[in-house]
Amino acid sequence: MTTQPSFRLSGSAAHLMVAWLTLSFFMFSGAVLLTPSLGTLGHALKPVFFLPALILLVRYYRRTPSDLFDGLNLALLAFFFLGLISLFWVSEPRWTRMTHAMLQIALLFLSCRVLGQHYRPLLAQALVLSAMLTAVVAGVVMVLFYRANPLMLPLYEVRTGLEGLIPNTNQLIATMTMMAPTFILAGALVAEQRSGRRILLTLGLAICALFLVALQRRTGLVALIGGGVALILLTRSKRIMLALVAVIIATSYFIITDANHYISRGDSERIAVWLSYLELAGHHPWFGHGLSDNIPTITPEQSPILPYAVFHPHNILLSLFYYLGAAGLVVFAVFFIILLRRLLISRAVFEHKNLVFLAPLAPGLITLMFDGEKVITPFWPNWNCFWIPLALAAATLARTASSSPESDASHAAPCGENGAAND
């Protein structure tokens, strides 16, 4: 059996890695609430995260090139390859933007796998720190907003209290942005044994969850409750049970106090939207319309069942079907099934220390079942519900070497205090 090379870090190098990862994941989440331009934030992430990640991967795969070609990585590459091929039948292909997006997603996914294999405690520490920083930002936003507005007003509904201090943020973007940090803290709370840290994690989780409740978006509330239920089923944690009860009570308060508002919204025409886009996607059912950054608007004239024009299908699977057809759905399903199978075989899902990485997956996917739009795109807030949870889940797999999934369990290596896997 080939011995895996050691990638140990000195104390100062370990601290530097934690600082780098903390800053990077904060920019993926909390910084979204602070930036006036997501494009500028995306450009800033290139030297902060993507370039160092590329250097890390080049150094790693130069020493262990076979690790790049295992089944999970190849399934993701096959998905990207189908996306690239589909650009040939897009009316206005954007080759540079789409290849740029795939490169960024690949760097995120592969670097999380490498970091999870060799520096998992450092990655977990950075995720929790970044989530706590995001909680601080969320807390400041709520204090500024509700100091000038009534409690019943949904967060970001108006600019009063935030003008000149906090950029205007779409409520959907805020929901997607906060989902991963909230459940990173929830996963950390389940595993944490020290009382002082539990208090800090509880405070951070309470702020993040309250932020999502204050947005009063039903998608976020359903994802928050659904993700909490999934975590309880997995861990039977009394701490998460109490947190979920608190979320339900807070949600019920808003619903009871302003019941007419929620009832009048009905199903937000989701069924009509889904049926309209399903009909549109069905024009090219096998290989889709080709990968792009946009889905055409559908007007009531084009689809009489719609009461107003809609700009995207509000469902990540419908988006995928529109872009890449049944072929795209099948290839992505293969990738996702391989990931889930390895998680189950390695028993990673049953270890509390891995909940920091795994907890964001269920609520993120629930969110995108009701509000999903872009599948492959350069960094966008929906990464916090899709690509980041997938990459973090893959980080719990013990090996990246080319081998059968069963080897994830048989070759799992414990991690030392410096964050490196003990060989």
For CA atoms 220, 225, 230, 235, give the dihedral sign. positive
Neighbours of 406 (CB within 10 A): 12
Q: In whole angstroms, what separates CA 381 from the centre of its chain?
A: 8
406: confidence class by pLDDT, cuts 50, 70, 90 = very low
Q: Which of 170, 254, 178 is nearest to 209 (CA)?
A: 178
pLDDT of residue 259: 64
Helices (H) and strands (E) in the chain, counts: 17, 0
Neighbours of 251 (CB within 10 A): 18
pLDDT of residue 57: 96
pLDDT(364) > 90: yes
pLDDT of residue 298: 80
Least confident of 202-216, 333-347, 399-413: 399-413
The overall average pLDDT reported for the chain is 87
pLDDT(52) > 50: yes
Mean predicted confidence (pLDDT) in 291-314: 79
Least confident of 157-161, 345-349, 376-380: 345-349
Angle, helices 316-346/387-394, rounded to nearest 10 degrees? 10
**d(Cα 194, Cα 197) in Å, to the nearest integer?**
6
pLDDT of residue 416: 47
421: β partners: 415
Q: What is the CA radius of gyration of the chain?
A: 21
pLDDT(161) > 70: yes
* The pair of three-digit structure tokens given for residue 365, joined into one six-digit string: 């996917």
Are 389 and 361 spatial neighbours (Cβ–Cβ below 8 Å)?
Answer: yes
pLDDT of residue 262: 63
pLDDT of residue 169: 82
pLDDT of residue 280: 84
**d(Cα 388, Cα 262) in Å, to the nearest integer?**
31
**d(Cα 5, Cα 64) in Å, to the nearest integer?**
8
**d(Cα 232, Cα 37) in Å, to the nearest integer?**
37
The more confident residue out of 266 and 364 is 364
410: confidence class by pLDDT, cuts 50, 70, 90 = very low
pLDDT of residue 84: 95
Mean predicted confidence (pLDDT) in 166-178: 90
Mean predicted confidence (pLDDT) in 149-153: 90
pLDDT digits (tens, 9 = 90+) for 369-389: 988 888 999 999 999 999 999
pLDDT of residue 173: 93
Neighbours of 270 (CB within 10 A): 18
Mean predicted confidence (pLDDT) in 239-251: 89
265: confidence class by pLDDT, cuts 50, 70, 90 = low
* The pair of three-digit structure tokens given for residue 353, joined into one six-digit string: 């220390």
pLDDT(414) > 60: no
The more confident residue out of 189 and 273 is 189
pLDDT digits (tens, 9 = 90+) for 202-223: 999 999 999 999 999 889 999 9
396: confidence class by pLDDT, cuts 50, 70, 90 = very high
pLDDT digits (tens, 9 = 90+) for 75-118: 999 999 999 999 999 888 999 999 999 999 999 999 999 999 99
H/E run at residue 189: helix 171-191
pLDDT(263) > 70: no
Are 125 and 18 spatial neighbours (Cβ–Cβ below 8 Å)?
Answer: yes
